[in-house]
Amino acid sequence: MSKIKEPYRVLIVEDNPGDYLLIQNYLEGYQKHYETLNTKTFQQTKSLLRNSDEHVDVVLLDLTLPDCRGEELICEMIKLAEPTPIIVLTGYEDIDFSIKSHSMGVSDYLLKDELSTNRLWKSILYSIERKEVNKRLEDSEKRYKKLFENNPSPMIIYDSENRRIVDSNVEALKMFGYTKDKILTLTIDDIRVNDDQEHDLRSYGMRGTVGGILTYMNDEGTLMFMEENAHAIEFRGRESVLMLLNNVTDKVNLQEKIIEHSIRAEEQERNRIAQEIHDGIIQQLVACGLFTQNLHDIKEDPELLDQKISKLFELIQKITDETRHLSHKLKSAEIETMSLSEMTSQLIKQLQQSTKIDFVLKDFIPDEMELNHLVKTNLYRSLQELCNNIVKHSGAIKAIIIMEIVDQQIFLSVSDDGVGLKESDNQSSGIGIANVKRRVQKLGGTIQFININGRGLKVTIDIPLNSKF
């Protein structure tokens, strides 16, 4: 217990001389230094407590004063004496009223007929100590509230069970564009997009911290990338999550632009090399082949010449085929002119020729469907990365790619019969897969990684056709 400076100042609000004397006797029976003050009416009490020179540590209140009594007296005394603890002393046993008086703010409720020195002093000391503890808690709460409200980083608190937002600081309101009243009507899922990570910490048993970069949406529908740190806390008696947010949208967009420029430069270089091979080497070899076909007309030994020419032609034909294959391999998909279906079909053919995995394409996208260039590019690059992941890591024998339009959503499914994801694996740890996730989030879509009966992996991507880019 904290040290309360003695002597204690006890205000006895009692108009009955006999009861006042009885209370004094009980107080004197305990070896504590104290001082007593006595008022006999509510008006006297009001006048005393409003005098700034008169400080009291506890009020012993009789409920039947000449000018005020009962519930009305309790209400007036609590407003008048706050935060001084009030102990009610009454001669009437009323359990319901005693419970109600506690809920109104009374510190304790004692029957005069059951008073004793120990009981009275125990109630006084506990009430004073409780007041000090409550004051420290209130002061602490005010300090943390001030720290929360004035923090330069956006902060949000939401309930772990119902996921409703229960508090947010000024910076969070500025960033999301909501008023305080409005944001408190939302859940964390109303502002967080593509929440494929569980951040309510229930799986952590209210321990530890989790974080990552996730997509959020402000009041205007603009997508923002947030570096998020989630901390388990108790807020207003309930398990909650404190979110510390850092807007990294500009950083992510810059990374995306660097990646896009790098890919575009690589495609241009590949196309240049492919064009040179096609227009230069292949054409020259074809001409050489045509020339050698006529050499036997000018040689003395036609039979031997024919054999050599045939072998030379076969070699040239082989070089031509190999060079043409290299040209196809180097030349990137013509994103500007080809449809998603055409690019995907070309990719599957290349995979079937260059790997032992049986890639199967089921394309249900209508031929007349024209997709936004950004959607087409990012979906195709995502599919390339997922297929590359299958080739490198899955150990699969067969892979199936499904593309279709479902309820105004572009649906892409990539599944294989390989090793799948282990529980210890982090599906977002690889740079390639992380890029896929960012591409999908950029389009306002969702991505899921699902193990198939302990063997194989299924990745699904949904992109809304009416996404805001």
The pLDDT of residue 193: 80
CATH 3.30.565.10 domain extents, the chain: 336-469
CATH 3.40.50.2300 domain extents, the chain: 8-146
Fold assignment, 151-247: Beta-Lactamase (3.30.450)
> Whose structure tokens read 């499914």?
413
The pLDDT of residue 6: 62
The pLDDT of residue 34: 84
CATH number 3.30.565.10 is the correct assignment for the domain at 336-469 = yes
Pick left, alpha or beta for residue 40 (phi over 0 → left; psi -120 to 50 → alpha; otherwise beta): alpha
The pLDDT of residue 324: 65
The pLDDT of residue 2: 46
The average confidence (pLDDT) of the chain is: 81
CB distance 110 to 87 below 8 Å? yes
Contact residues for 9 (Cβ-Cβ < 8 A; gap 6+):
34, 35, 36, 37, 55, 56, 57, 58
Q: In CATH, which superfamily holds the domain spanning 8-146?
A: Response regulator (3.40.50.2300)
CATH 3.30.450.20 domain extents, the chain: 151-247
Q: What does pTM read for this prediction?
A: 0.43
Cis ω for the linkage preceding 7 (within 30 of 0): yes
Give pLDDT tens digits for 115-172: 888 899 999 889 888 888 888 877 777 787 888 888 888 999 999 999 999 999 999 9
Integer distance in angstroms from the first to the last C-alpha of the chain? 61
The pLDDT of residue 197: 45
Ranges in the chain, pLDDT < 50: 1-4, 196-209, 424, 426-429
The pLDDT of residue 399: 93
Pick left, alpha or beta for residue 453 (phi over 0 → left; psi -120 to 50 → alpha; otherwise beta): left
The pLDDT of residue 406: 84
The pLDDT of residue 196: 47
